[in-house]
Structure 1
Amino acid sequence: MRNKRLKMMVVAALFSAIIAIAAQIMINIPPVPFTLMTIAVMLTATILGGKYGTLAVTVYVLMGIIGIPVFAGMKGGLGIVLGPTGGYILAIIPAAFLVGVYLEKFGYTKVQAIAANIIAVFIILILGSIWLKFVADLPWVGAFKGGMLPFILPDLAKAVVAALIGIIIRNRLVSAKLI
């Protein structure tokens, strides 16, 4: 039991690194860059489940908060989290938790994973847009147009891809007794 816990903590740390790398693949669209961080978060939660998926995402966020340049554009520090994109960064923690817990409750199937990841997309976009509205002092329409609207379709596509690939990877890792 202890070895499995240690193994899962190591796997969670590896997934934190994967999220950090994916965050660097970006198209800079002010005020919120388009990155692959969200697909990495959804993959992490789909593969690792609620406990270790949330741990991996939380470690990623904490690395950024303490100044390790893991956020988009090789940025880090508390100032990034307190800035316009901070809501999106913080929202990935409850989003990952929801995906993992949802799949643990309803089963690790492709259909359930798609549903869970779509819900996660809206958690991230809604919380991020609310944060953006207040931090950037934007009207609701401006926050929606700049922080949510351009990301809905790409993020929904990422949710489906993360779900389909995540279930395949999870099944293979489970059958190989790696998770």
Structure 2
Amino acid sequence: MPDYPPTIPALHVTEPSLAVQSSGGMPMMVEDDNKDVPWDVEEEITYEQVKKWSEDTESGVILIDVREAPDFEIGHIPHSKNLPLSIFEQALSKDQVDFVRTYGFPKPGSEEKIVLYCRSGRRSTIAADLASGAGFSRVRNYKGSWLEYEAKSGAQAGAAKSA
């Protein structure tokens, strides 16, 4: 085992959920909060993952529905926010104060974990490209979107209201 400076204890990696990150040139071990999520690779987001995040408001994952407000109001994934594709690019350019005032929730940071969805995956694919182009590096698209979520969860229209 390598000799580490006294301020950084040597760690044995016994869990695959631990990741190595660099801090000021020194490697350090950190636990990945969402170890089942491939945020840095292009793997598909699953219904099971989305269901878990919709039930855990402390997961650190922001669910954003890019459908228009009337569709969102009929039914949506619990705890998701609404930011329609028609104003998505404009919204991302707003500062934090204007964003909150206009959309009613804090603007996600460029490093926050964001999952976008719509009705079928088409609009959320476009929104994911727009977000990536605007510098958001941890944006994923739930391609199954509302149709899959509603079918698998048994949610009825209007029954998936967020708190």
Tell me the TM-score normalized by structure 1.
0.28
Higher helix fraction: Structure 1 or Structure 2?
1
Tell me the TM-score normalized by structure 2.
0.30
Bigger radius of gyration among the two:
2
